[in-house]
Structure 1
Amino acid sequence: MKLFLRLFALILIISTNTYSQVFDWEWQNPKPTGADHNFALILSPSDYMLFGNGGAVSRSSNGGEAWMTLYIDSLSRNINAASFPTATTGYVAGTSGMIMKTTDGGLTWNYQVSNTTQTIWGIFFLNADTGFATSGGGGLLKTYDGGNTWTAGSYGTVTNYCIYFLNSSTGFLGSSSATTGRLVKTTDGGTSWTDISSLLTGNSGTVRSITFVNANTGFVSTSSGLIYKTTDAGLSWTQVFTIGSTTTIIYNLAFGDPQNGLAATTLGRVVRTTDGGATWSLVQLTTAKGLYSVAALGTGAVAAGDAGTIYTTADYGATFVKRTNAPSQEQLQRASFPSATTGYVVGGSISTGNSFGDVLKTTDGGATWVKTSFTSSTRVYSVCFLTEQLGYVGVEGPTGLHKTTDGGATWTALNTGTGVSTSIIYDIDMTESGVGYAAYSSGHIAKTTNGGDTWTALPAGWSGAACYDIFIVNPSVIYALGPGGRISKSVDGGATFGQLPSLGTTTLYSMHFFSPDTGFVVGSSGKILRTTDGGGTFSEITSPVTTTIYVVRFLNRQTGWFGASGGDVYYTLDGGATWIKSKIRIGSSQSTRDIQFKDGILWLIGTDGMIMRGYADPLIPVELTSFTAAVDGKDVILKWTTGTETNNLRFDIERADGNRGNWRHIGSVDGRGNSVTPQAYNFVDANIAAGSYSYRLKQVDYDGSFTYSKTLNVEAEIPAEFSLGNNYPNPFNPSTVIKYSLPMINDQKSPIKVTLKVFDILGRDVATLVNGEQEPGSYQVEFNTSGINTPGYGSGVYYYQLRAEVSSGGGSFVSTKKMLLVK
């Protein structure tokens, strides 16, 4: 019974809630997410939680080694604070008055009415029922019934950042007000407050964090880089640390025990004490990103912050391990995908000044990214690849345009003779014929007709102001645009550019043209403009945003996307007449700088190293519910099913050797057109040689549009023994892949009776994935949870069991393994 109770508690701790949606986004950089982590909690030595922008909740069930990120707020608001008074009851709070509550350890979250629209910065619960929250505008909220009702009060008129109660009577509040007090105290449960800011000698900043290690000993940190300590329950305070700058914020404090504590601050640094806060030392981590939060329990701690940064320690902060996977967390400007597997993204330093550039490359569709050999002393602003090997990147100056012919292994500087040393190359647009253009901040355009061997400098149609974007409609018609409503056009193949009528004071950043006459331009203040007469006139489209729109791209004449600052990403399905907010959850601090399409896939590129992958068509026409591959001797058998189909013409089957990404078409299977019932398909890739192969499906609609499935990897050989592999990914939502192997018995391909089932923790049969005879070989099966309707089914631990029996009397094999579903 004790074992069962502990396991059940673990299920509650490591499970979180998500919201299912047809259109799915994937963070490819940083991983597990690029959302800012604003608050950290450790609920047990193994259960770590981070709360951040876009409603992100990142969770680890193994002490911070591996993380899964889910999103609990349908409005994608930022979470600024959290409080768990018990192991199962917790609260989060954030922008626009958001408060949410869980009573099952984070399995599900419910909204509460906060009675404020202000941003809530702090939340603290004494127990499951009694809690307080602080907000902008001097807001101070109280509840005595677990948040069923919140009473709106106030202290001061500016932002109250944090709150902490020692008991039901005594509490402390941290504020930004020099008038009503930066540190105030209550002794009557929050009915009245007294300014005790004078006890913080030398402080001129906002109190950002308050914590106590026992009834008497506590600490506060401030935005002026100071830490204070009390040993008499707040009657007096002593300054114990200064970071040396009155403008450096110490965001958060946490203690693993009374002696060992950590504080999170700017530029990738933590402040550490090992003597109960008497002395502190500054520790530099391997990042320059700001750390906004820290949590500690015993020897373990997690520090997290800007751009998805996560570090953990298991020795009180003596050493830290970076848990974020990100070749870049700087601003990324542009992307180019010559194929669905190979792509390049460029950008560079912003948090450390404009001092270096990045050129990132993927050869697996963005699953992994690495830096190429390219080096620069400034940010890389533009990129254009014609093939996987041939491409160009732009930095600054007449020799700031570089060319590679070997996929970024080596680079050659090209002299365009355009601009001066500080002239930024904002855009590059090359064609297979060798004609290309580069846009400069000096108001010039460089043109080549031989792939970059020689260049001619041209005025962009105006002088002085930058040229941000170039669009080649056809060999004769080219458009260019820039700030101050400037847009120009060439009708003679780029020999000359003439400025079109001004579009006012709007800074224009991006455009997309369907023909010489029809196109869109976008820019600052949410402006979207359309022309149907070649730029003679533009009409303004009603925009859903007022933020700066940096990029617009169209998949076809009806379906298009734009990306903006403030986390705004929208799409249109009616040619730009109306725009719909995407369900992407990146938070308000992110800006999308580029959007690229390839073979039905969409990539978003932006600030803080953001690379996100989704589908170019926001309405996925075919719901693929399973896709499996199995080796049968020298044959690979592919099977897949669909839940629904709309305008499904066919499936093209593609195969690649190993991981080289050299995809080729090996066959097609007709689709069912339109269907609302499940449909099953199969395809046999016959008589293949032993080796490693990858397979994918290309689903093609009647109009020629298409999307790709996930990739399955297959080892074409006969296994030597029975085996059941670990499912991947794990934890998972909504699907995971299980691999298993069946050997030949006595050198005979005797049929093997195979069952592969999934059970819940109570031993109930949840799903049967395989039930029948199979030949020896290697198999993999996808377990997709989206279609399971078992009562009580949800997040938690599940078991999958492989049972194999040789019909010729060769014995049996049984293996069971555990997996974790996090919904």
Structure 2
Amino acid sequence: MPRVDYVGVHFSNKDIGWAVGGLGALIKTTDGGANWKTIQTNITVPILKIRSINGQTVIASGYSGLILRSTDGGEIFTQVESGLGAGFDLWGLEIVNDTLGWACGATALLKTTDGGESWQIINIPGYTGNLWWIDFMNENYGFVAADGKVLKTTDGGNNWEIIQAGDDRPLYCINIIDSSHIAAAGYGGTNYSAKNIYSNDGGYTWIHGGNLTTEEVNCIKYVSADTGYLVMSNVSAWKTTNRGTEWTTIQGISDTYELQILENINEIIGYSAGTGLKISKTENGYENWERLIMNDNFSDVCFVSEEKGFALGNYNVLYKTTDGGINWTAKGVLGSCITFIDSLKGFIGSSGAIWKTTDGGNNWYITNGANGASKIFIKNETTGWAIRDNIIYKTTDSGDNWFTQFTAPTSVRFTSIYFVDSLYGWTANLGGRPYKTTNGGIEWVQQTNLDLWITNDIYFENYTKGWIIDKTSWSALKKTIDGGLNWIKIPDVLNPFKFHFFPDSNHWLISGTPQKYITEDGGFSWIDITSDIPSIFTSFRSVTNKLGFAAGGLGLLLRYDDTAYVPVELNSFTAVAVGNNILLSWSTSSELNNSAFQIERSTDKTNWRTIGFIEGNNTTIELNNYSFIDSLFKNNSQKLFYRLKQIDFTGTFKYSNTIKVEIGIPSKFFLSQNYPNPFNPITQIKYSIKENGLVSIRVFDVLGKEVAILIKEERPAGEHEVNFDGSNLSSGIYFYTITANDFHQTKKMLLIK
């Protein structure tokens, strides 16, 4: 369902209806609003109104003269030529019968006499202003709300009377109660109650009503000559029982653009549409409304199993599901972040307190010591931290009591906190550089050497490797491999905002605006999944590596099923040329249902050929090393690419990153172990250099004394070898060292005579 502002609603009977709104959104229900489906329009401009008389022919209007028509009950719509273009927005629409209809807007009035197939522009002599709303009682008797005036016809629009209606402020809506009683309303103003007027004589004289707020009125509807309702461009809806002389506020609907009160039925049924996906219904009196669509702006979501989860809404409501998100029940707990230790114990952070549950979310109580939290990080059963503004709280008793551990300057606002273990932690924050602790928060040290002033989230895999989302100058993902001393920008990730993790530490998401990314190799490579996830997705939690739940604005709740995820943690994958062969080596730190690795080779990274097959180790948490030798006796290419296709026992697979090998030129500097070793008295030493340069190989005894210089000269890139003769040396351990450009390496050898 498009998550936009819905500004128009219409029901042809109590069950079948439509709603329209921004970005060409059009939805339909056939069960009184319990369920809605999206109708494709291929339109990107807002649709403002929709109407139908018989339930089969449906007309919609909107920006830039837009008119849509359906003849199959609003399932398929086609655009109809209106004769209007950009700037002529159609704000009002009225379908009188199967053939007759009207539309109005910016200085334009349109009429159809063939059920909306064609439209003609109607000129009104003496009036050139805006036409905001149109209402007909029958095919002859109608009114248009205009700029300080109403236009009246009694002959089906052949002639129009222009009547001053109260002061000159515009009228945005009008309602014909009967031929004598007409109500209209519209513009407010800084110093005025919103304009609302009433006529007892068919629209010729008007009486101003009173006591509304200053916002404009979007829609007015009367259910009798005395009793009426209106909605305004704020949170208020109003009721009158004395023809607009006095108004009282009613609850249940807010930020509403249109009301529809169904006529000619024996039930009291009404519908409304408004901003933020607000579509509401009343069935037991127009003062009692219920939302038909969950439209909360969810701040956080947390699942403790595949079936049981929670979501925090913006109406002080905690939602709970026990069937995997199909159905939700509401509970009045205020908060902005939620986390659980296990299936029973959980926490909610709010602006004034930290709440805790010990019975799976059925009951919540306020803990001691913390004045709220924007994020809660629980490390183990007893220990956790929470942040609020410039304060860090800590608990050591499973969250029953919290104490202020650190208070930063008031210019700092913490945005995230993460601990590798119970001692080593980091913060991300606005208005100051990140803080770091190595003693569980006893001391927090600001990292004054870092040019990171605005950071939004942080994550460390271990003491040395971590990631941070830096928004100092432009939103960027940065990585450190030296414990935060230096940070390198990751160019493949644009506009990041927040980290979201699966149980597998190598499998995580980054959400941003609008970009979204996923990695399955611990951040080594990233896949852009922006087109797969709505931009208003803000929070994500997973309970398995294949299943997660996302939440966001305007009631967004998504279930994520990754059927292609293969949980094998690949630590490394390298290739090196050895003579006429390529040695491929890789290792895994854990495997789950790993059937095999298929080795593939390419000369252009497009066309791949399978060259080998190595069995996996099924399920294991131990380190496993693999290797494969690719013989090149039939290959003439100077450049080769390799990748691994990891396959599990169900046939699901994923590819590793691609690596490149330059044939004939080593891909790296390398010093081989001498052969033979031990030796007497001659041994051979092989080495590889990837670029031309000065090379020296020297031999030392155990006391560090230089005993031989085997080579000290310019050498070309490639593989080389040199012999060492130890005839003049005594038996013992010797060391040989290579220096080539910035490459230095030492190995040990044993001479035995």
Indicate the TM-score class for this superposition, using the shorter chain for normalisation: 0.5 to 0.7
**2:145 & 2:396 partners in 1: Cα distance?**
67
Deviation string, structure 1 residues 155-197 (Cα, Å, up to 9, x no partner)? 99999754557879986354xxxxxx4546498999999986x
Correspondence 1:115-126 to 2 at 5 A = 120=89, 122-124=91-93
Aligned to 1:680: none
1:390 is displaced (CA, Å) by 1.0
1:439 is displaced (CA, Å) by 0.8
Shift in alpha-carbon separation, 1:446–1:163, aligned structure 2, 3 A: same
Aligned to 2:207: 238
Aligned to 1:340: 306
Contact kept in structure 2, 1:54 and 1:71, CA below 8 Å: no
Shift in alpha-carbon separation, 1:540–1:173, aligned structure 2, 3 A: farther
Choose which of 380, 404, 426 in structure 1 pairs with 2:335: 380
1:380 is displaced (CA, Å) by 1.7
Deviation string, structure 1 residues 336-367 (Cα, Å, up to 9, x no partner)? 22222222233554xxxxxxx44333222223
The answer to whether structure 1 residue 414 and structure 2 residue 367 are counterparts is yes
> Which one-letter code corresponds to 1:407 in the other structure?
G
Correspondence 1:199-214 to 2 at 5 A = 199-201=165-167, 207-213=171-177
1:313 is displaced (CA, Å) by 4.7
Deviation string, structure 1 residues 299-353 (Cα, Å, up to 9, x no partner)? 44313245555554567x4674636376xx655422222222222233554xxxx
> Which one-letter code corresponds to 2:19 in the other structure?
L
**2:539 & 2:129 partners in 1: Cα distance?**
37
Secondary structure (helix, strand or coil) at the match of 1:581 reads helix
Choose which of 92, 103, 121 in structure 2 pairs with 1:132: 103
Deviation string, structure 1 residues 120-174 (Cα, Å, up to 9, x no partner)? 561425676865353xxx5758586947799999999999754557879986354
Contact kept in structure 2, 1:391 and 1:407, CA below 8 Å: yes
Choose which of 531, 535, 540 in structure 2 pairs with 1:581: 531
**1:34 & 1:40 partners in 2: Cα distance?**
15
Choose which of 433, 440, 444 in structure 1 pairs with 2:388: 440
**1:524 & 1:147 partners in 2: Cα distance?**
56
**1:411 & 1:111 partners in 2: Cα distance?**
53
Deviation string, structure 1 residues 695-733 (Cα, Å, up to 9, x no partner)? xxx99774699xxxxxxxxxxxxxxxxxxxxxxxxxxxx
Deviation string, structure 1 residues 176-226 (Cα, Å, up to 9, x no partner)? xxxxx4546498999999986x5224x75x533223356665332224344
Aligned to 2:698: none
Choose which of 366, 391, 396 in structure 1 pairs with 2:346: 391
Which moved further from structure 2: 253-262 or 155-164? 155-164
Shift in alpha-carbon separation, 1:87–1:191, aligned structure 2, 3 A: same
Shift in alpha-carbon separation, 1:384–1:151, aligned structure 2, 3 A: farther
Correspondence 1:314-325 to 2 at 5 A = 317=285, 320=288, 322=290, 324=292
Aligned to 2:579: none
Shift in alpha-carbon separation, 1:185–1:613, aligned structure 2, 3 A: same
Contact kept in structure 2, 1:439 and 1:446, CA below 8 Å: yes
Aligned to 2:543: 598
Contact kept in structure 1, 2:144 and 2:151, CA below 8 Å: yes
Correspondence 1:350-389 to 2 at 5 A = 357-372=316-331, 379-389=334-344
**1:321 & 1:393 partners in 2: Cα distance?**
29
Secondary structure (helix, strand or coil) at the match of 2:305 reads coil
**2:552 & 2:130 partners in 1: Cα distance?**
30
**2:386 & 2:228 partners in 1: Cα distance?**
53
**2:384 & 2:174 partners in 1: Cα distance?**
58
Deviation string, structure 1 residues 365-393 (Cα, Å, up to 9, x no partner)? 22333345x75xxx422221011101122
Deviation string, structure 1 residues 613-653 (Cα, Å, up to 9, x no partner)? 22254xx65xxxxxxxxxxxxxxxxxxxxxxxx9899xxxx
In the superposition, the TM-score normalised over structure 2's length comes to 0.58
1:496 is displaced (CA, Å) by 2.2
Amino-acid identity (%): 18
In the superposition, the TM-score normalised over structure 1's length comes to 0.54
**1:195 & 1:503 partners in 2: Cα distance?**
67
Aligned to 1:294: 259
Choose which of 379, 383, 398 in structure 2 pairs with 1:451: 398
**2:150 & 2:494 partners in 1: Cα distance?**
42
**1:230 & 1:358 partners in 2: Cα distance?**
44
Secondary structure (helix, strand or coil) at the match of 1:365 reads coil
Aligned to 1:562: 511
Deviation string, structure 1 residues 28-72 (Cα, Å, up to 9, x no partner)? xxxxx986542221313543333345655454445x374434353
Unaligned runs of 5+ in 1: 1-24, 26-32, 175-180, 350-356, 622-645, 650-667, 674-697, 706-823
**1:263 & 1:139 partners in 2: Cα distance?**
25
Contact kept in structure 2, 1:142 and 1:150, CA below 8 Å: yes
**1:104 & 1:207 partners in 2: Cα distance?**
34
The answer to whether structure 1 residue 263 and structure 2 residue 216 are counterparts is no
Aligned to 2:738: none
Aligned to 1:430: 378
Contact kept in structure 2, 1:512 and 1:554, CA below 8 Å: no
Contact kept in structure 2, 1:113 and 1:150, CA below 8 Å: no
Which moved further from structure 2: 118-127 or 400-409? 118-127
> Which one-letter code corresponds to 1:246 in the other structure?
T
Contact kept in structure 1, 2:12 and 2:53, CA below 8 Å: no
Shift in alpha-carbon separation, 1:410–1:173, aligned structure 2, 3 A: closer
**1:116 & 1:505 partners in 2: Cα distance?**
49
Q: Compare relative contact order (CA 8 Å, sep 6+) and give the higher one, 1 or 2.
A: 1
Shift in alpha-carbon separation, 1:538–1:314, aligned structure 2, 3 A: same
Aligned to 1:220: 184
1:284 is displaced (CA, Å) by 2.4
**2:501 & 2:291 partners in 1: Cα distance?**
36
Secondary structure (helix, strand or coil) at the match of 1:340 reads coil
Choose which of 208, 212, 220 in structure 2 pairs with 1:253: 220
Aligned to 1:402: 355
Cα RMSD of the aligned pairs, angstroms, is: 5.3
Choose which of 7, 10, 20 in structure 2 pairs with 1:51: 20
1:413 is displaced (CA, Å) by 3.8
The answer to whether structure 1 residue 40 and structure 2 residue 9 are counterparts is yes
Contact kept in structure 2, 1:55 and 1:71, CA below 8 Å: no
Contact kept in structure 2, 1:82 and 1:123, CA below 8 Å: no
**1:67 & 1:536 partners in 2: Cα distance?**
53
Aligned to 2:272: 304
Shift in alpha-carbon separation, 1:465–1:87, aligned structure 2, 3 A: same
1:582 is displaced (CA, Å) by 4.1
**1:543 & 1:94 partners in 2: Cα distance?**
38
**1:489 & 1:150 partners in 2: Cα distance?**
71
**1:152 & 1:527 partners in 2: Cα distance?**
53
Number of equivalenced pairs: 550
Contact kept in structure 2, 1:264 and 1:270, CA below 8 Å: yes
Contact kept in structure 1, 2:9 and 2:18, CA below 8 Å: yes
Contact kept in structure 2, 1:139 and 1:153, CA below 8 Å: no
1:234 is displaced (CA, Å) by 4.4
Aligned to 1:88: 56
> Which one-letter code corresponds to 1:132 in the other structure?
A
Shift in alpha-carbon separation, 1:497–1:81, aligned structure 2, 3 A: farther
Shift in alpha-carbon separation, 1:34–1:594, aligned structure 2, 3 A: same
Shift in alpha-carbon separation, 1:44–1:194, aligned structure 2, 3 A: same
Secondary structure (helix, strand or coil) at the match of 1:597 reads strand
Secondary structure (helix, strand or coil) at the match of 2:342 reads coil
> Which one-letter code corresponds to 1:451 in the other structure?
S
